[in-house]
């Protein structure tokens, strides 16, 4: 009797390629935390402040608008931050291509992060990457930055539906006798935990469809309507 062979499909688990992009001073600070924690993501730091960028720990550093800012940053001018990102769009795009998901982290209320975030988000989404923006709102005593932050987050949300804002002020209100550095460290850890959970969710969703060697699945095919809860935030 002739033996029958049963053909089986070999299941291949998809590991999404994920990038964490730090924009401006606060964003690059968070990016450094990811890098030092040996997070399994690609760390990309983007800044107009040359000195701050040199001090950032990252896999890839992009110094934008050298000819305009002379390495001194945007000095709080969000319009200039946006223009700098536009001018260097090709270099930013080259660093981001081939990723499945991108987490863009930026401090809100300044120039580089606030201005560049919508540009980078739009660029990622044009390549069908799962794009999530996490904006860090100013402390309550930073009056001028608060107004810039409010306008900035509106511009970001027009480009990216998955936009979250983390509140620096809530850290001071929930923790007693902490320094500004302690508060910022708490915010950084909160963001890192959120990215870890969201990345695990993305990987799970990508593998739910049981991809095979013959048929790979990318993040753009995934319904990512649910996001894990992020503490200290004001919502999407």
- Using the 8-state DSSP alphabet, how is residue 83 labeled? H
Of the two residues 76 and 94, the one the predictor is more confident about is: 94
Q: Does residue 231 lie in a domain region?
A: no
**pLDDT confidence band for 211 (50 / 70 / 90):** very low
In a domain, 115, yes or no: yes
CATH of the domain at 54: 3.40.50.1440
97 within domain boundaries: yes
User: Which band of pLDDT confidence, cut at 50, 70 and 90, is reported for residue 139?
Assistant: confident
In this prediction, residues 79-98 reach a mean pLDDT of 94
- Mean pLDDT lowest for which of 26-30, 50-54, 210-214? 210-214
Q: How many domains is the chain built from?
A: 1
Residue 228 has pLDDT above 80, yes or no: no
Q: Is residue 214 part of a domain?
A: yes
- Note down the domain range covering 163: 18-221
For 147-173, write each residue's pLDDT tens digit: 999 999 999 999 998 898 888 887 777
Is 236 inside a domain boundary? no
Looking at the chain, list the stretches that DSSP marks H as alpha helix, in order from N- to C-terminal side. 24-36, 50-54, 66-69, 78-87, 89-96, 112-126, 143-159, 168-174, 180-208
Is residue 235 in a domain? no
């Amino acid at each position: 009797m002739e033996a029958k062979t049963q053909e089986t499909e070999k299941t291949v688990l998809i590991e999404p390629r994920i990038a964490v992009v730090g924009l401006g001073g606060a964003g690059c600070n968070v990016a450094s935390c990811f890098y030092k924690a040996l997070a399994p993501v690609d760390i990309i730091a983007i800044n107009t402040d040359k000195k701050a960028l040199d001090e950032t720990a990252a896999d890839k550093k992009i110094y934008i608008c050298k000819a305009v800012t002379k390495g001194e940053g945007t000095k709080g001018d969000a319009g200039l931050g946006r223009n700098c990102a536009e001018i260097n769009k090709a270099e930013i795009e080259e660093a981001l291509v081939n990723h499945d998901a991108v987490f863009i982290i930026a401090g809100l209320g300044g120039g580089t992060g606030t201005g560049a975030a919508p540009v980078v988000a739009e660029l990622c989404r044009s390549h069908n990457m799962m794009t999530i923006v996490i904006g860090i709102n100013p402390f309550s005593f930073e009056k001028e930055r608060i107004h810039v932050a409010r306008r900035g987050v509106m511009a970001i949300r027009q480009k990216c539906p998955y936009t979250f804002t983390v509140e620096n002020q809530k850290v001071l209100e929930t923790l007693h006798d902490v320094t500004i550095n302690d508060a910022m460290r708490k915010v950084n850890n909160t963001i890192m935990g959120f990215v870890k959970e969201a990345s695990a969710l993305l990987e799970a969703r990508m593998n739910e469809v049981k991809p095979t060697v013959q048929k790979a699945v990318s993040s753009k095919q995934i319904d990512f309507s649910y996001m894990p809860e992020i503490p200290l935030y004001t919502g999407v």
